[in-house]
Chain A
Amino acid sequence: MTAKVILHVGAPKTGTSYVQDLLFTHREELAAAGTLYPADRFDAHFLAALDLMELQWGGLEKQAVGAWDRLAEQVRGWDGTVIVSHEILATATPTQVRRAFASFGDGVEVHVVLSARDLVRQIPAEWQENVKHRRVVGYRDFLDKITDPARKGTLASWFWGVQEVPDILDRWGSSLPASQVHVVTVPPPGAPRGLLWERFASVFGLDAATYAKPSGRDNPSMGVPETALIRRINERVNNGVLANEDYRQFVRELLAHQHLSRRTGSPRLTLPPDVRAWAEDLSETWIKVLAAKGYDVVGSLDDLRPAPASRSEAEASFADPDAPDEDQVAEASLDAIVTLLQENARLQAREHALREDVHAAHRELDRVRGLWFRVKRRLVREADGNAVLGRALSFYRRVRGSSSRSA
């Protein structure tokens, strides 16, 4: 029987992909040591999360049918500790949390883990995630929506659903002892690179050094002109121009993740001074609420306090993605064009190779089918341009019935 389930429920943009990739990379060693990460790919629990929360996700939800129940079955079948991790679980409602807990069976010790980063870094990152998911909302519009206390609309409700740390922990942790609710804080900028993994490892009950093989997986951020460029691309390719699967492959993965996020010289996304002040106040409220709850904090709640900056410093560091430097956007666009040309050339070479394979297969098929088949096919082709032959073929097909097919 499973002794312990550790549910890592978010938040997005707190190193979750990195952690999931480490767990996936080491899944066999972990299993040998008694800890199961039940996954056939690093983000395998995404589909289970869609199923649990009945979420649509650009057509991917069709692959999610029954995924949570299958995951729960794996959990119940493991004799030891199981780790489940996906950041969109943060949005689960209390009803869905109850269903998740019940699915693990009786007598299981459930732990909930939420990794959290300060709001001043999270808010721009969330807008960028929105842009990378085809949204065309401008930055100021996004900020206005999330700072509106009414929280109306899907954009604001999603943001708060995945980013409001005290509320997420309330929803996931209210039926658990505080000692089984863990807040892993993301260290401030400049901290040692391995520190975040050490914090996660301590919650998972793992030796950080043993499983510290570097992961190539992360979810890097783009700068201001690059994000502005993707948003403009969205405006051109949405509404039927580019299917979701093509968007994922060419815009999100190829352009955003593999190329534009590697351009490090451009200005980074930050908060304008007015929103920064609001986020600083809200962070103080959260820190107080979390401290009062007595959760197990791995790291320090101080990490959730944005790095101090005066208003003039905030103003100086702010580059507005709604009015970006057009020269920088043009530079990013040229890089994007080159990337797409290279990809086009690669795909074309691949297509040529595949065509050659198909032709070779046809030649081999003809050789096997023999002379009579080749004569019939020739007659059918000739019938396209010869009226007598065409009528004869039509008559032949009527006599033969509708099942007759061209060669």
Chain B
Amino acid sequence: MDLRPFRIALIFVSAAALAACEGTVGTVDDPVTTTPPATTASGASTSGAGGDTVSGAQTGAGAEDATTTTAIADPRHPLDDPSTPLGTHTIYFEFDSSDVPDSAQPVIEAHARYLSEHAGASVTLEGHADERGSREYNIALGEKRTLAVRRLMSLLGATGPQIRTISYGEERPAQAGFDESAWRLNRRVEIVYRTRE
């Protein structure tokens, strides 16, 4: 007697919840008690429009690095030739490590040389970690990876102002998945050109 309506209620609620998710988020009704109902969307929402920004574009680039790099090759520009170190824009790391692997040295050297020869070019080094462990530690780990790459690039002739760094920790994986095949693609520094020549 009691169970059946309850089950119906659950179905009803989940359908309603789904409907609510599909539509706009602007739920004005707030059946919670407290003081003034907390409809905070206006003040809180950031300027929506994901994708117009640098970060939106970077996400796309990251995903393509991981899977279909050849698709965006532009042989006219050395930065876009994936068969060369300069056309490689991602450096991968071991777990919980910010040691730049030897195999990445040619990539770092190529970009450092490009930056030193093109004073108007500049990059953002985006640091990332795989999803294991805690999130803020992974933010710190991602930063440590960017700083290791920046240090090498600076030693090889790139100047400080040409290189910015930011860490996203585990917040922006390049590859979905929950095992080493995805994780190894997510422990990375992406070299994203802000300006090129």
A and B: bona fide binding partners: no
Q: Which residues of B contact A (CB under 8 A)?
A: none
Q: Which residues of A contact B (CB under 8 A)?
A: none
